[in-house]
Amino acid sequence: MATDDTGGIYFDDDFRIRIFDVERLEASKGLQENSFKFLDKVGQLQDTVKQYMALIDQQAEKIEAEKLKAIGLRNRAAAMEEESRRKRADMRLSLSEKQEELERLQVEEMSLMKLKQEQELMMAKLSDSGVGGE
């Protein structure tokens, strides 16, 4: 390789004029190729990251949907439990009312039975006095 004394102009092996010396030119070309490879790899990395982010977003949506479903089921279970509690309270109240009514009817029946016995006794006395009085 021959160089000119001007300091900024170089000649390659084919005697072409160059601004850089051949070694710097080769180093620049190598750097350029490596830069392009690096940019390609960065682009691939970006694509991979986008794919992973899309998968993560999908999973996040599925998780959120399952979370909402679980909350809905929990609310439904709580509502069913409250409904069951309310029905038990209503049934207890109804049972209590029925028992009170049964007791009242039993007292009324006893009273009517006593009245019937008294009336039968009175009828027997009247029929005895009517038979004996003739």
Query: What confidence tens digit (pLDDT) does each residue in 73-99 have?
Result: 999 999 999 999 999 999 999 999 999
Question: Whole-angstrom Cα distance, residue 65 to residue 58?
Answer: 11
The band of 7, judged by pLDDT with boundaries at 50, 70 and 90, is low
Q: What is the pLDDT averaged over residues 106-134?
A: 87
pLDDT at 79: 97
CB 18 within 8 Å of CB 11: yes
Residue 102: φ, ψ to 5°: -60, -45
The band of 21, judged by pLDDT with boundaries at 50, 70 and 90, is confident
Spatial CB neighbours of 28, under 8 Å, sequence gap ≥ 6: 20
pTM > 0.85: no
Could you list the beta-strand ranges (E) of the chain: 2-3, 10-11, 17-18
DSSP-H helix ranges across 1-134: 22-132
Distance of CA 72 to the CA centre of its chain: 6
Question: Whole-angstrom Cα distance, residue 39 to residue 44?
Answer: 9
The rounded mean pLDDT for the chain is 89
Task: Output DSSP code: residue 27.
Answer: H
Question: Whole-angstrom Cα distance, residue 78 to residue 91?
Answer: 20
